[in-house]
Chains A and B, each alone.
Chain A
Amino acid sequence: MEKDKTFANRKSHSEPGPGDGGRTGSWRVLRPVIDPEKCIPAKTNKKACFSCWIFCPDGVITKTKLPVIDYEYCKGCGICAEECPTGAITMVEETLVIMEEEK
């Protein structure tokens, strides 16, 4: 049998991109929910503000007129809610959301 001459074929190398740290959405205890009535780009229909997009440390918020949060990877840190100038983002108990979905 030919001997295996490959070495170091299991290393911790990764490329930048969504999900490389795993499905981090499962870490979340509090879920940020955006109120379109208060959100500046949603309310004014203008590409403006986007503080949540700028400050999100995981880059899971889109720069769209109603920003969309990717709950697959959002860890629920709450920085977006803290930074939102109009208080449009509230942190909701994840268990409440799950209970609501299961109804």
Chain B
Amino acid sequence: MHIIESGNVAAALGVKLAEASVIAAYPITPQTPLTEKLSELVDAGEMNAQYIPVESEHSALAVCIAASSAGSRAFTATSANGLLYMNEQLHWAAGARLPIVMCVVNRGIGAPWTVWNDHQDSISQRDTGWIQLYACDHQQILDTVLKAFRLAETVSVPVMVCYDGYILSHTYMPFELPDAEMVRRFLPPFAPEYFLDPKCPKNLNTVTLPDIRPDVRGNTAPGYMEIRHNLHMDMRKSMDVISDIEIEFKEIFGRGGYPFIEPYRVNDADYVAVCMGSLSYHLRDVIDMLRKEGIAVGAAGLRVYRPFPDKAVADAFSHKKGLIVFEKALSYGNQGALFADIKAALYAKTDRPFVRNYILGLGGREIKTTELADALRNSCKPSSATTDRPEWIGLKM
């Protein structure tokens, strides 16, 4: 069934279809109407879930951690400073290997206060041990929520579903609402191996000594370093799972098929504009315009930021002449975080493209098609070289 709704409602309907059983959320700014919609669905009896309103984002995720530890499918959502307030619990959820799914409606972070879109909130949380997926439109938001639960529960790593604040969250677009039976086929009920059970008491995530130790049964229990190494290796291995899930999703629903990089006119392109989120669709208009001018440029949207799909990036782009990375976030005092990661992924290749970096759209600064076109016209030249510092688009100084 096709419906026309906001990106937030697309996300909420995804959570409903995923049959999440515990939702905890803090309702005030920078929260979005996503959780309000979920509270309505629970109140109307359309969702069989516990909706737990809390006094802060830190508590929202703490409730999800408890619920997930007890074997429930847990969901929360936040944005911007709310996500930052969760920071300690983000690390905890990942270290505890809990398959929580959270929507991050991307907004800029204060100071100074802003509620508009950029990616600094989720990018600044890249090393929390969460998988980060980025959606480009309303359909992808809904679909990615479903894939995120499946992925999280397969690899026991929490997943953020990130989508652009306002540009996607508050705008209305048509999208396909999947059939509930088909979703159940794709996403079986949550059946964790370990969960809190009064019949079988266990300590979860107590103080772990620097070295390994014998447990009460005389088996070797891992130390902190083994547990963290396991998280890292599982994040790397999860890329295979992301690919498999994408294939299965396409078989069932007939959509998707691009687990890591969604290309647009990339095959015959010499240069590729790379970015995350809705901007990659915005760029398609620019690509069409520049193609008419004879510039062989394509666009690529990165769907996964952590684990970083370095092999997919190297395979897709190492034979190109140039990459132009557009970012709505910045590693202050250095360069765009995605830019640095892409350069690192290409470093081992002997014949690698130049890579340039543009920072744009911070705090909701309007991104004009003409500005994107100018940036690409300036960059898509054989004489271009890799830069170590970003250039800025739309800066009025």
Contacts and interface: CB of A to CB of B under 8 A. Distances in A.
Contact of A14 (B221, B229, B240): B221
Contacts of B221: 12, 14, 20
- Counting chain A residues whose Cβ lies within 8 A of the other chain, the interface size class is 10 to 19
B206 A8 contact: no
B209 A15 contact: no
Contacts of A103: none
Contact of B203 (A3, A14, A18): A14
Contacts of A21: 206-207, 209
A12 B206 contact: yes
Nearest to B192: A8
B226 interface: yes
Among A7, A14, A21, the one with the most B-chain Cβ atoms within 10 Å of its Cβ is A7
A20 B238 CA distance: 31
Interface string A2-30: 01100111111111111111100000000
B215 A20 contact: yes
A15 B201 contact: yes
B386 interface: no
Interface in B177-199: 193-194
A59 to B, nearest CB: 13
A8 B207 contact: no
B209 A4 contact: no
A12 B213 contact: no
B2 interface: no
Interface string B245-280: 000000000000000000000000000000000000
Interface string B217-246: 100011010110110001001101000000
Contacts of A12: 96, 204-206, 208, 221-222, 224, 227
Contact of A22 (B209, B224, B234): B209
A10 B216 contact: no
Nearest to A19: B216
B227 A13 contact: no
Contact of A13 (B204, B207, B209, B234): B204
B154 A7 contact: yes
A17 B205 CA distance: 16
Nearest to B211: A22
Contacts of A17: 216
Contacts of A14: 202-203, 206, 215-216, 221
Given A15-B215, A19-B214, A10 B206 contact: no
A22 B216 contact: no
B230 A9 contact: yes
B156 interface: yes
A10 B208 contact: no
Contacts of B96: 11-12
Given A3-B240, A7-B156, A13 B203 contact: yes
Given A11-B194, A12-B222, A13-B194, A20 B230 contact: no
A16 B97 CA distance: 21
A95 B193 CA distance: 46
Contact of A7 (B203, B224, B227, B237): B237
Interface of B: 96-97, 154-157, 193-194, 201-209, 213-217, 221-222, 224, 226-227, 229-230, 234, 237-238, 240
25 contacts: A3-B240, A7-B154, A7-B234, A7-B237, A8-B156, A8-B234, A10-B226, A11-B96, A11-B194, A11-B222, A12-B96, A12-B204, A12-B206, A12-B224, A13-B203, A13-B204, A14-B202, A17-B216, A18-B216, A19-B216, A20-B203, A20-B215, A20-B216, A20-B221, A22-B213
Given A10-B230, A16-B203, 13 more contacts: A7-B237, A8-B155, A9-B230, A10-B222, A11-B222, A12-B96, A12-B222, A13-B202, A13-B203, A15-B215, A18-B216, A21-B206, A22-B213
**Closest 7 A/B residue pairs (Cβ):** A17-B216, A8-B156, A10-B230, A10-B222, A8-B97, A14-B203, A12-B205
